[in-house]
Structure 1
Amino acid sequence: MKQLVLVIGSLYGGLAVILGAFGAHAFKKILPAEKLISFETGVKYQMYHALLLIAIGLFLEFQTSLEKSAAWSIILGTFIFSTSIYLLSFADHWGVNLKWLGPITPLGGLLMIVGWFLLAFYFLKRN
């Protein structure tokens, strides 16, 4: 689990840099300002949680279900949150109706929040 968290954190971080660069350059030409701001929000949250995953991957042992649940909540929440924002940002450009993703995005956010609170609970229980 430790290696998986570190690999996913690294991949999320690398993808955030790539997508951030595209957002700052290529996507500026094709996305309206409000869609670009949403896209950048997805990139920021992906990077924040990539760094969190690397930190917990380095410092936790993932021997308890609490540690594993926190990591999976962050992994899945980040994927759902950021990916849905990316897709919604491009929906008009692609000419597709992805409005059904609107309610999905907050579920990803909720999973990220759950992951943070599970970490807090883990740290409180540890001592």
Structure 2
Amino acid sequence: MGSSSSSSSSSSSSSSSESSLLIKIAAFFGATGVGLGAIGAHALKATLTKRGTLESWHMATHYQLAHAVALLGFAANSDKISPTAGKLLAIGTTMFSGSIYGLSLGIGPKAILGPTTPIGGLLMISGWAMVGFTLDSKSKDN
């Protein structure tokens, strides 16, 4: 009985720390997404407009903010969703939005940032797909 209890406690502790990490990442994405959206709309608007990348900047902030909210949902349902799904979403969002910010400003090597965007997108898609597969397998277990 002791091993079952410690196994359950260990699993609960792991789930709690993973949820806590997802919440911290979501908060970071939310805060920086709002900040970068404001910077793009005001301080960098002329630069981004001149470069023709204002829409790309806005898209990056929208994806970042949407996935901040999604990560909160993942954290709230960590008992039903694989932790890998949240990790894929967090890494994918960082790569996707981060590379678009760099490309929009002309910062960093385009040869690296260009392919980073779709790879990040694929990671986000994979994270969402994993949610569906995880929920499906959990419902079959019950």
Fold shared, TM-score > 0.5 on shorter chain: yes
Q: Distance in 1 between matches of 2:116 and 2:109?
A: 14
CA contact (8 A) 1:2 1:58 kept: yes
1:27 counterpart residue number: 44
Mapping of 1:96-115 within 5 angstroms?
97-115=109-127
Cα separation, 1, equivalents of 2:28 and 2:94: 11
RCO comparison, higher one (Cα < 8 Å, 6+): 1
Aligned amino acid, residue 40 of structure 1: H
Q: Distance in 1 between matches of 2:43 and 2:55?
A: 14
Question: For residues 109 and 120 of structure 2, what CA distance do their matches in structure 1 show?
Answer: 20
Q: Separation in 1 of the partners of 2:47 and 2:109?
A: 18
Aligned pair count? Answer: 121
Specify the alignment match of 1:70 in structure 2: 85
Of 8-17 and 97-106, the range deviating more from structure 2: 97-106
Q: Which runs of 5+ in 1 are unaligned?
A: none
Shift in Å at residue 97 of structure 1?
4.5
d(CA) in 1 for partners of 2:113 and 2:20?
31
CA-CA distance at 1:32 after TM superposition = 2.3
Q: Aligned-pair RMSD on alpha carbons?
A: 1.6
Moved more, 103-112 or 25-34: 25-34
Q: CA deviation at 1:84?
A: 0.3
Q: State the 4+ residue runs in structure 1 displaced beyond 2 angstroms.
A: 96-100
Match 1:88 to one of 93, 96, 103: 103
Q: 1:14 aligns with which of 16, 24, 31?
A: 31
In structure 1, give the amino acid aligned to 2:129: F
TM-score, scaled relative to structure 2: 0.79
Which one of 28, 36, 41 corresponds to residue 54 of structure 2? 36
Task: Provide TM-score, normalisation by structure 1.
Answer: 0.88
Q: What residue identity is the alignment partner of 1:5?
A: L
* Structure of higher CA gyration radius: 2
